């Protein structure tokens, strides 16, 4: 089947930085710390929207970034939270991690929302770090970076038009004539074992997706043969072309064939029988008994169906059929495959936790890196003694010092943490 895919980069907003500030006003010689907190970064949210039917827009825009949080302000005023970024996708979109291929989410309900990248938290202002023994902290916390990742979106194309009918009536031939699809065609039953999809391009942006759906047999509604697979694909189409071998060259009765297909559809789901059907009387060039062919067409018209007399193999009457189908699709709304979500709850996708830090050795230099280390370093004022003490206590509490000792660090060895280098002291 044709699959609509796109790979995009998403980035949530970074948290705003906390502020180092002290209260200043007339007649107050030494006000306390009043630095405000940074605002939270915006999330990137995928939302299912029935107004979107393909992933085509993602071919032109690959990068999506939510708004950063605002920095903290004086007088303990917090920065503004970043706005969430909503990215709309069609029903049936599968979300994968672009690097691992792991399925992250299956978006199959209208209105469904997931946070695909969570915004970073805002950093604390220096007012949070005031204690009885540290009344004028000269450091604050930086905001945390928002999540970044590449994701792959996959959407199985939903066919606008389904070709139904008994096996070997010419559906695959018709599909190959009107679209870019190249189905296997042979003169035996059950040639098509799975739907073949093609795009009918009539020019000037006028196109639609058409599917040659597997032929069925009596009992398909009970799951015999390819029944259930056939009928599930019928549910997803907006319009049915009921192709019939009206020439009766195999000795079959075309009216009986037409009725049997519709009986199976009715048994499986009565709503499917209400879909608009256009009758395609195929193989007109092979008619040896015109009374059978004409009798079938007259009977269908008497039942109220629009009938097209064609020969798919000879490409006769096909263009007129496709133009009529295109006009009908303009009047038929997209099918609602799922009920709208009962609530507006947003699901948060939890990704595997990153390793907070790593310790590696390069000769006599020990290198400490990792997302947690980077965050705590961004909150440290290396020019301030109290801030450095807070940083050292954080390293010990998180287990960095213990891991250095496990790696064999000795007094006097050089430890490098990004742009900071210092000699290890026990």
What's the confidence (pLDDT) of residue 281? 96
* Mean pLDDT lowest among 149-153, 364-368, 389-393: 389-393
Q: How confident is the model at residue 224 (pLDDT cuts 50, 70, 90)?
A: very low
Model confidence pTM above 0.75: no
199: buried, middle or exposed (CB in 10 Å: 19+, 13-18, 0-12)? middle
Query: What are the beta bridge partners of residue 309?
Result: 281
Q: How far apart are CA 110 and CA 175, in angstroms?
A: 31
| Mean pLDDT across 97-101 | 88
| Mean pLDDT across 318-336 | 87
Chain segment 20-63, per-residue pLDDT in tens:
888 877 766 667 889 999 999 999 999 998 777 778 788 789 99
Chain segment 385-415, per-residue pLDDT in tens:
777 887 888 888 889 999 999 988 888 889 9
Q: Please state at what angle helix 254-268 crosses helix 227-235, rounded to 10 degrees.
A: 80
Chain segment 249-286, per-residue pLDDT in tens:
888 899 999 999 898 888 877 777 888 999 999 999 99
Q: How confident is the model at residue 231 (pLDDT cuts 50, 70, 90)?
A: low
Q: How far apart are CA 116 and CA 85, in angstroms?
A: 10
Helix (H, G, I), strand (E, B) or coil at 143: coil
Q: What one-character-per-residue DSSP string does 305-326 give? A: -EEEE-BTTTTBSHHHHHHHHH
Q: How confident is the model at residue 1 (pLDDT cuts 50, 70, 90)?
A: very low
Query: 123-132, 162-171, 317-326, 392-401: which has the highest mean pLDDT?
Result: 317-326
Of 5 and 317, the one with more pLDDT:
317
Q: How far apart are CA 156 and CA 342, in angstroms?
A: 25
Q: What is the CB neighbour count within 10 angstroms for residue 94?
A: 18
């Amino acid at each position: 089947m044709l699959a609509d895919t796109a790979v995009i980069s998403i980035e949530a907003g970074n948290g705003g930085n906390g502020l180092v500030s002290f209260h200043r006003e007339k007649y107050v010689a030494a006000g306390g710390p009043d630095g405000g907190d940074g605002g939270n970064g915006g999330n990137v949210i995928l939302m299912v929207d029935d107004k979107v039917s393909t992933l085509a827009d993602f071919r032109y825009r690959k990068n999506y970034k939510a708004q950063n949080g605002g920095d903290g302000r004086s007088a303990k005023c917090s920065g503004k939270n970043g706005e969430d970024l909503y990215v709309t996708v069609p029903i049936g979109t599968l979300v994968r991690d672009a690097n691992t291929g792991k399925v992250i989410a299956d978006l199959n309900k209208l209105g469904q929302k997931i946070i695909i990248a969570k915004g970073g938290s805002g950093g604390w202002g220096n007012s949070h770090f005031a204690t009885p023994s540290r009344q004028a902290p000269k450091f604050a916390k930086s905001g945390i970076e928002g999540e970044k990742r590449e994701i792959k979106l996959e959407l199985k194309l939903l066919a606008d038009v389904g070709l139904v009918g008994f096996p070997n009536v010419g559906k695959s031939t018709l599909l190959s004539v009107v679209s870019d699809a190249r189905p296997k065609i042979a003169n035996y039953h059950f040639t098509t074992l799975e739907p073949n999809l093609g795009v009918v391009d009539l020019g000037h942006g006028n196109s639609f997706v058409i599917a040659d759906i597997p032929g069925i047999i009596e009992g398909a509604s009970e799951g015999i043969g390819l029944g259930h697979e056939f009928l599930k694909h019928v549910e997803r189409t907006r319009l049915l072309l009921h192709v019939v071998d009206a020439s009766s060259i195999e000795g079959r009765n075309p009216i009986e064939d037409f009725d049997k297909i519709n009986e199976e559809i009715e048994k499986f789901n009565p709503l499917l029988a209400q879909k608009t059907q256009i009758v395609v009387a195929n193989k007109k060039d092979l008619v040896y008994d015109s009374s059978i062919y004409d009798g079938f067409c007259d009977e269908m018209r008497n039942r109220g169906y629009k009938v097209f007399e064609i020969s798919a193999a000879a490409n006769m009457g096909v263009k007129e059929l496709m133009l009529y189908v295109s006009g009908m699709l303009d009047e038929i709304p997209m099918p609602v495959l799922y009920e709208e979500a009962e609530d507006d709850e947003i699901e948060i996708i939890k990704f595997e936790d990153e390793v907070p830090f790593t310790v590696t050795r390069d000769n006599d230099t020990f290198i400490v890196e990792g997302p947690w280390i980077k965050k705590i370093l961004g909150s440290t004022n290396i020019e301030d003694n109290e801030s450095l003490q807070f940083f050292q206590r954080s390293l010990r509490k998180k287990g960095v010092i213990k891991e250095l000792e496990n790696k064999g660090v000795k007094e006097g060895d050089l430890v490098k943490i990004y742009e900071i280098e210092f000699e290890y002291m026990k």
